[in-house]
């Protein structure tokens, strides 16, 4: 895929670096310790229900459904947060798999899952692609990757990720020969589906000391009949329109709605930003809210992202696709899915 020029600058292009650090597609300030000090008083005074007071689920996936291909050609099983198993035009893609108990560098502290994974890793059907968008703990869990690397069902899988993340995957047991690291606008084709990494406005790093040293990406899937946009993590930026014009229209657009706050709105969308991004991407097909409902990563109530998104969607005429965790659900053109599992 080539480049697209907007005005006097190229919007869709390979990632740039300053020394060892990758740069965002537009100037972006990422908070450090100073932001943590600003957040601390809000955290201590916060009265919102950031963690569910009652147990959620249990959710269980009927794995026998994978014995038959989706009639529509596109089916998604959302596991919570940004993890899902997507079946698109004959290809199975496991996206940002996160079965770890905590989104944290330790097993004894940090954001803990609100509910257990709807299926065990061992129950996954054979997967063609494992996609890891970036190296943050809520998208790349060591326990999950090590577990997947040992599974017979994953032996033929192609691992697709952003530049630099392959080193982590190798360290967790993934075969080097099966890893494809993509720069922005680079593509790899697997089973007739073209997977392209595109720019997003976020950051990387598994500590305060290695930020920006690996790349972060959104991804476009182009199959024989369907196109899907997986936004992973991103704040708002003007490039959404160019991505939509170049790679769209999309049948399903997956955009993050959770873990938002005014202090970090440059790197997360929230419900308002997700609606704006969906419209900029072409305002076509269905929008799937992701990055919510599983971990306490912000100050807002855990239900707030989806309740706000529902209101905004009704106001703007956005068709939502929001299934229950663990339920393999067909994506049918023009048909909304609005479960109420969070109530």
69 CB neighbour count, 10 Å cutoff: 12
Distance CA(183)–CA(164), nearest Å, equals 9
Q: Per DSSP, which regions of the chain are E strands?
A: 4-6, 9-12, 17-18, 21-22, 74-80, 83-88, 91-95, 129-132, 158-162, 179-182, 187-190, 193-198, 218-222, 227-230, 252-256, 286-290, 321-322, 329-330, 337-338
Distance CA(246)–CA(260), nearest Å, equals 28
Q: Extract the tokens encoding 41.
A: 């008083």
Distance CA(171)–CA(126), nearest Å, equals 23
151: three-class secondary structure by DSSP = coil
Query: 180: Cβ–Cβ under 8 A, 6 or more apart, which residues?
Result: 158, 159, 160, 161, 188
Q: Would you state the pLDDT for residue 18? A: 96
Q: What percent of the chain has pLDDT over 90?
A: 86
In the DSSP assignment, the letter for residue 343 is: -
Task: Please provide the DSSP assignment of 207-224 as one string.
Answer: STTSTTSS---EEEEE-S
- For residues 103 and 138, the answer to whether their CB atoms sit within 8 Å is yes
pLDDT digits (tens, 9 = 90+) for 69-116: 999 999 999 999 999 999 999 999 999 999 999 999 998 999 999 999
Distance CA(305)–CA(294), nearest Å, equals 12
Q: Would you state the pLDDT for residue 34? A: 54
pLDDT digits (tens, 9 = 90+) for 120-132: 999 999 999 999 9
Please compute the mean of the pLDDT values over residues 223-239 and round it to a whole number. 97
Please compute the mean of the pLDDT values over residues 305-316 and round it to a whole number. 98
Largest separation between any pair of C-alpha atoms in the chain: 54
Bigger pLDDT: 133 vs 152 = 133
Q: Extract the tokens encoding 86.
A: 């997507």
Bigger pLDDT: 42 vs 96 = 96
Q: Would you state the pLDDT for residue 45? A: 64
Q: Does the structure show a pLDDT above 70 at 41?
A: no
**3-class secondary structure for 297-326?**
CCCCCCCHHHHHHHHHHHHHCCCEEECCCC
Closest C-alpha among 119, 144, 120, 125 to residue 59 = 119
Q: Would you state the pLDDT for residue 7? A: 40
191: three-class secondary structure by DSSP = coil
Domains and CATH numbers, the chain: 57-332 (3.60.15.10)
Distance CA(317)–CA(335), nearest Å, equals 13
Q: Would you state the pLDDT for residue 31? A: 67
Bigger pLDDT: 9 vs 249 = 249
Please compute the mean of the pLDDT values over residues 159-171 and round it to a whole number. 98
Work out the pLDDT band at 271, boundaries 50, 70, 90.
very high
Q: Would you state the pLDDT for residue 6? A: 36
Q: Does the structure show a pLDDT above 60 at 336?
A: yes
Q: Extract the tokens encoding 244.
A: 């939509």
Ordered alpha helix ranges (H), 99-255: 142-150, 166-171, 239-247
- For residues 15 and 163, the answer to whether their CB atoms sit within 8 Å is yes
């Amino acid at each position: 895929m080539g480049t697209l020029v907007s005005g006097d600058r190229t919007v869709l292009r390979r990632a740039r670096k300053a020394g060892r650090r990758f740069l965002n597609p537009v100037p972006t300030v990422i908070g450090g310790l100073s932001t943590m000090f600003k957040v601390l008083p809000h955290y201590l005074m916060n009265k919102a229900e950031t963690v569910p007071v009652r147990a959620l689920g249990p959710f269980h996936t009927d794995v026998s459904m994978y014995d038959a291909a989706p009639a529509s050609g596109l089916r998604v099983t959302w596991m919570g947060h940004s993890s899902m198993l997507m079946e698109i035009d004959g290809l199975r893609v496991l996206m940002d798999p996160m079965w770890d108990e905590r989104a944290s560098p330790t097993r004894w502290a940090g954001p803990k899952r609100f509910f257990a994974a709807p299926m065990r890793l061992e129950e996954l059907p054979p997967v063609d692609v494992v996609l890891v968008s970036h190296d943050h703990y809520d998208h790349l869990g060591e326990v999950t990757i090590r577990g997947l690397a040992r599974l017979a069902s994953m032996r033929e899988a192609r691992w697709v990720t952003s530049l630099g993340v392959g080193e982590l995957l190798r360290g967790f047991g993934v075969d080097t020969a099966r890893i494809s690291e993509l720069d922005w606008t680079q593509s790899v084709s697997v089973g007739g589906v073209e997977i392209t990494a595109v720019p997003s406005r976020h950051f990387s790093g598994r500590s305060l000391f290695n930020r920006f040293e690996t790349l972060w990406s959104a991804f476009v899937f182009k199959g024989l009949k369907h196109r899907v946009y997986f936004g992973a993590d991103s704040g708002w930026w003007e490039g959404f329109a160019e991505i939509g014009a170049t790679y769209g229209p999309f049948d399903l657009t997956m955009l993050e709605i959770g873990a938002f706050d005014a202090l970090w709105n440059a790197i997360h969308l929230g419900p308002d930003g997700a609606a704006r991004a969906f419209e900029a991407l072409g305002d076509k097909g269905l929008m799937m809210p992701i990055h919510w409902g599983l971990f306490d990563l912000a100050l807002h109530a855990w239900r707030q992202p989806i309740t706000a998104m529902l209101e905004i969607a009704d106001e703007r005429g956005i068709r939502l696709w929001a299934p229950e965790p663990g339920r393999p659900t067909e994506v049918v053109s023009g048909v909304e899915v609005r479960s109420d599992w969070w109530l």
